[in-house]
């Protein structure tokens, strides 16, 4: 069943991306990815920092690579 799993989209960070809710996340974690959800207006809502890609990330989330 795992071979049919959809993985989250990975996008590079840029100045054009609008990411909200980052003030509530811890700083200085050494993470490379920011897990986020897409809002209705096209902005991204930050959920948590990730150091690596794991299987438990839902397919409808986005990983923003820093």
| pLDDT tens string 40-51 | 999 999 999 999
**pTM of the prediction?**
0.87
- Whether the pLDDT of residue 2 is over 70: the answer is no
Closest CA to 24 of 42, 44, 50, 46: 46
User: So where are the chain's domains?
Assistant: 2-65
């Amino acid at each position: 069943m795992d071979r049919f799993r959809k993985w989250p989209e990975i996008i590079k960070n840029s100045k054009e991306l609008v990411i909200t809710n980052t003030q509530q996340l811890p700083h200085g974690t050494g993470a490379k990815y920011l897990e986020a959800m897409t809002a209705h207006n096209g902005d991204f809502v930050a959920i948590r920092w990730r150091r690596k890609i794991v299987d438990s990330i839902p397919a409808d989330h986005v990983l923003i690579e820093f």
